[in-house]
Amino acid sequence: MTAFTMGAVAYDPKVVTIWNGFRSWFVASGLPFDYVLYSNYERQVEDLIAGRIDAAWNSPLAWVRARRLAEAQGLTIRALTMRDTDRDLATAIVTRADSDIASVEELRGRTVATGAVDSPQATLLPLDHLRRHGLHPGTDFTVRRFDVGVGLHGDHIGGERDAARALIAGEVDAACILDGNHLLFTKEGVLPSGSTRLLTTTGRYDHCTMTVTGSADPDRTARFGELLRSMSYADPAVRPLLDLEGLTSWEDGRTDRYRMLEAAVTAAGFYDAAGTVTAAEYQP
């Protein structure tokens, strides 16, 4: 019997440690399980839709593309589980504390730093948030993108950190930073406490999701989901892996908090309705 196979994107060497550990745990729990690593989310999503893997540990942007591809091909697709830490994120758009910019409207004609072209949290969502304020990227203000780890959908924090540094250096007027990363950058000293001012915050959205399609064996898919949900933070065998993966519990998947991203993807022309990559300057 072939193992239930999950795809994961190798955005960091720790991914191997995490999924090797989980693999042993799944096998010991009676589920033959294996994983394959991808260098970018686009190929992982394509393999999920083609049925080459049973599940994909997807970024929110990869969920959007997978959903569009699946629906275009008449496949069922669902979000099986997600981390507790994937729920209700927000992105801040900040300026320097001493900036003369007092409101979002005053970003008109200015330069805004973002993360990589394919970062939902540091590019697509905050730019769409500004669009909703009547400010169109590239027209009403200049976008200075920090393309680090393109293809990793913003999992690499480097682009955001570079955007923060550019803000402090006075190279840009504002920067788009995930809430947790803004807190992290204050701790690191990249954005010393009190050095930035909050201009606006996006609405709340969800992050990664374990995506499955109808082509995987339903019993084993169900078992995979049950086992993920059963992982306990009190269990010393899995706690170090949960810490590495950045969660304290696996929760049921939900898709309603991807609506903002769906709209942002469409507005930016990142994917078309059928899931084809249409973004300019995007080469994962």
Partner 1 sequence: MNLDLAGLAFDTGGRLLIQKVLAGLPPGSTVTVTGRDPFLTLHLRAWCRSAGHGTTAQDDGAVEVVKGRPDADRWAHAERAGEPGAVARRPPGHWGLAARGALLETGGPEPAYELADRDIVWADLAPRLYAHAAAAQWDPATAVPWDAPFTLPADIEAAIVQIMTYLVENEQAALVIPARLLTRIHPHFREVLGLLAVQAADEARHVDVFTRRALHTGGRMGSSSAGGRASLASLLAEPDFTLASFLLSVLGEGTFVHLLTFLERHAPDPVTRAVTRLARADEARHVAFGVAHLEHQSASDPTMLGRLRGAIERRHDMLIDTAGLNQDVFDALLLLAAGSWTPPALHRGHLAVRQLQADMDTGRRRHLSRLGFPDDEAAELSALHTRNFM
Chain contacts with partner 1 (rule: CB under 8 A): 84-85, 87-90, 92, 178-180, 182-183, 186-187, 193-194, 197-198, 201, 232-234, 236-237, 239-240, 246, 248-249
**Tokens in use for 210?**
């374990």
Of 52 and 204, the one with the shorter C-beta distance to partner 1 is: 204
The distance of closest approach from Cβ of residue 100 to partner 1 in the complex, given in angstroms and rounded to an integer, is 17
Least distance in Å: CB of 233 to partner 1? 4
* CB closer to partner 1 out of 198 and 273: 198
CB 61 within 8 A of CB 120: yes
Q: At its nearest, how many Å lie between partner 1 and the CB of residue 179?
A: 4
* Minimum distance, C-beta of residue 40 to partner 1, in the bound complex (Å): 26
In the bound complex, what is the minimum distance in angstroms from residue 66's beta carbon to partner 1? 24
Q: How far is the CB of 19 from partner 1 (least distance, A)?
A: 18
Written as one letter, the residue type at 13 is P
By C-beta, is 217 or 252 nearer to partner 1? 252
- Residue 4 or 22: the one with the smaller Cβ distance to partner 1 is 22
CB nearer to partner 1: pick between 180 and 284:
180
Nearest residue to 14 (alpha-carbon basis) of 239, 184, 244 = 244
In the complex, what is the shortest distance from the CB of residue 245 to partner 1, in angstroms, rounded to a whole number?
A: 12
* Nearer to partner 1 among residue 59 and residue 181 (C-beta): 181
Cβ proximity to partner 1, 39 vs 230, nearer residue: 230
DSSP the chain: -PPEEEEEE-SSTHHHHHHHHHHHHHHHTT--EEEEEESSHHHHHHHHHTTSSSEEEE-HHHHHHHHHHHHHTT--EEEEEEEGGGSSB-EEEEEETT-S--SGGGGTTSEEEES-TT-IIIIIHHHHHHHHTT--BTTTBEEEE--SSTTSTT-STHHHHHHHHHHHTTSSSEEEEEHHHHHHHHHHTSS-TTSEEEEEEPPPB---EEEEETTS-HHHHHHHHHHHHH--TT-TTTHHHHHHHT-S-EEE---GGGHHHHHHHHHHTSB-TT--B--TT---
